[in-house]
Amino acid sequence: DADVTQTPRNRITKTGKRIMLECSQTKGHDRMYWYRQDPGLGLRLIYYSFDVKDINKGEISDGYSVSRQAQAKFSLSLESAIPNQTALYFCATSVPGTSGRDNEQFFGPGTRLTVL
């Protein structure tokens, strides 16, 4: 079974709808992240959380919110989706302190979101 899972894998929705993307991990990592990737571009950080009580904005948090329900779960919400939020969304986890692989991030398979 995959260590980092994302649901749904694909979603088509309409402008103005509320959408929630879910991420679960079995790696036991405290740190979790949400990124978006637009075609031909790199990854941009939306939000990150270093533990259950910690939430931080990334580069592009406007229009998004997150919830860290437990160590293993980190959800991303689009309160009112708009077409320019159409993108591939990735969740990732990490743990600090491993020599030579410090804070290595492990990514989920991604969620492809289309907002019409």
Q: Among 21, 66, 81, 92, which residue interacts with other proteins (rule: CB under 8 A)?
A: 92
Distance CA 68, CA 32 (A): 9
Residue 5: how many CB atoms within 10 A of its CB?
15
Total residues contacting other proteins by CB under 8 A comes to 26
Which segment (17-25, 60-68, 73-81, 101-109) binds other proteins by CB under 8 A?
Answer: 101-109
What character string, x for contact with other proteins (CB under 8 A) and - otherwise, covers 21-50?
A: ------------x-x-----xxxxx--x--
Which has the closest alpha carbon to 70: 55, 52, 49? 52
Give DSSP secondary structure letters for 18-76.
Answer: -EEEEEEESS--SEEEEEEE-TTS-EEEEEEESSTT--EE-TT-TT-EEEEEETTEEEE
109 lies in the site for other proteins, by CB under 8 A: yes
**Closer residue to other proteins, CB minimum distance, 17 or 75:** 75
Binding-site ranges for other proteins (CB under 8 A)? 33, 35, 41-45, 48, 56, 58-59, 88, 90, 92, 96-97, 100-105, 107-110
